[in-house]
């Protein structure tokens, strides 16, 4: 399976490519690991939102949202996702308890998928978790809201919501 490139998902006001068809979880993880090797990542790999959702929905992975509590409340969240904030408060101070909280919620050999707004904080969280001994941590590429568009706004350039995947807003 070839996931769409960011350029293919970044065109404002256009249709996204169709969601990926069902692919064996092992193959999805292998492709994510290959992306990590190609990009020189310091964690297991990167998954596009539809790939991540397929793994979570099939029970093959745990989704951990690393955004702030405020983001979950006001922007939206994925139902059933665990929450361990990478940063907290309006000053976005790194959560000194992040790894301890993560260890209390998931096992070090679990397949863990990190989600943030655009994929940057979740990548940092994946690196930290890997350094702490978590062996199968993956970043969800594009994040929940996607990248900034030409108007410096999020929501039209990829992301969990743009793909039409399950989410709710409190």
C-beta separation of 111 from 84 below 8 A: no
Is residue 20's pLDDT more than 90? no
Q: What is the mean pLDDT of the chain?
A: 87
| Half-sphere CA count of 43, side-chain side, radius 13 A | 25
Q: Which H or E element spans position 64?
A: strand 62-65
pLDDT band at residue 17 under the 50/70/90 scheme: very low
106-153 pLDDT, tens digit per residue, is 999 999 999 999 999 999 999 999 999 999 999 999 999 987 567 665
Is residue 35's pLDDT more than 70? yes
Percentage of residues of the chain with pLDDT beyond 70: 82
**22 beta partners:** none
* Residue 148: partners with Cβ closer than 8 Å, 6 or more residues away: 118, 154, 157
pTM of the model: 0.84
**What CATH homologous superfamily does 46-170 map to?**
Rhodanese-like domain (3.40.250.10)
Q: Which H or E element spans position 33?
A: helix 25-39
C-beta separation of 153 from 12 below 8 A: no
Is residue 16's pLDDT more than 70? no
63-95 pLDDT, tens digit per residue, is 999 999 999 999 999 999 999 999 998 889 999
Give the model's pLDDT for residue 155. 59
**94 beta partners:** 87
Domain map (residue ranges) of the chain:
46-170
Residue 7: CB atoms within 10 A of its CB come to 9
């Amino acid at each position: 399976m070839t996931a769409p490139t960011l350029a293919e998902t970044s065109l404002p006001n256009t249709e996204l490519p169709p969601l990926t068809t069902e692919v064996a979880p092992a193959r999805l993880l292998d492709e994510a690991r290959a992306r990590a090797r190609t990009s020189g990542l310091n964690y297991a790999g990167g998954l596009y939102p539809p790939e991540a959702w397929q793994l979570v929905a099939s029970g093959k992975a745990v989704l951990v949202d690393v955004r702030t509590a405020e983001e979950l409340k006001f922007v939206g969240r994925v139902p059933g996702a665990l929450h361990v904030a990478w940063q907290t408060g309006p000053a976005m101070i790194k959560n000194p308890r992040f790894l301890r909280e993560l260890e209390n919620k998931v096992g070090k050999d679990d397949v863990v998928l990190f989600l943030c707004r655009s994929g940057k904080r979740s990548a940092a969280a994946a690196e930290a978790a890997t350094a702490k001994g978590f062996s199968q941590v993956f970043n969800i590429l594009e994040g929940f809201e996607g990248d900034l568009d030409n108007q410096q706004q999020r929501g039209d350039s990829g992301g969990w919501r743009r793909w039409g995947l399950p989410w709710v807003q409190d």
